[in-house]
């Protein structure tokens, strides 16, 4: 009888040990800190005014002067030529600046480190404010990250 009793006690001890192991909480997964991750704060389209090289001003001035010279005679002709050249130079300069205006997308991201960074893209990004992203290629591209 002692043999049966010792087997029952051993079985009970093994069962309670296996239940204790089964009920023990699993260890928490190690938290991996992403140094290239953050949350998009804003996505804005911005127009950057173009620069003038002076070509538009010169071309406009010449064209305005030629057109102004067609008006009147004598002193009136001289005044019209000067006015046409000045007006043409101004218009030519503004046309050139408008032609050189570029659009860009500014994406502001608050990094997990607390730092705020702004990235500039020529094409509209696929991310929106509040999206969690990871920087790829130093921020040249952004990838959505599951929250």
For 142, the 3-state DSSP assignment is strand
CATH 2.40.50 positions along the chain are 33-48+101-147
Could you tell me the pLDDT band of residue 121, with boundaries at 50, 70 and 90? Answer: very high
pLDDT of 90 above 70: yes
Look at residues 92, 101, 121, 99 and name the one whose alpha carbon lies nearest to residue 109.
121
Could you tell me the pLDDT band of residue 45, with boundaries at 50, 70 and 90? Answer: very high
Fold of the domain built from segment(s) 33-48+101-147 = OB fold (Dihydrolipoamide Acetyltransferase, E2P) (2.40.50)
pTM: 0.54
């Amino acid at each position: 009888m002692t043999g049966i009793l010792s087997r029952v006690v051993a079985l009970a001890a093994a069962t309670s040990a296996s239940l204790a192991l089964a009920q023990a909480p699993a260890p928490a997964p190690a938290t991996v800190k992403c140094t290239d991750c953050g949350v998009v704060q804003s996505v804005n389209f911005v127009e950057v005014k173009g620069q003038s090289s002076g070509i538009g001003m010169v071309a406009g001035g010449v064209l305005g002067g030629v057109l102004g010279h067609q008006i009147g005679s004598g002193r009136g002709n001289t005044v019209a030529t000067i006015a046409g050249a000045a007006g043409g130079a101004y218009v030519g300069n503004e046309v050139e600046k408008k032609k050189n205006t570029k659009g860009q997308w500014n994406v502001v991201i608050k990094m997990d480190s607390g730092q705020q960074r702004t990235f500039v893209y020529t094409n509209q990004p696929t991310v929106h404010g509040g999206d969690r992203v990871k920087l790829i290629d130093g921020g040249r591209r952004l990838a959505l990250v599951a929250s």
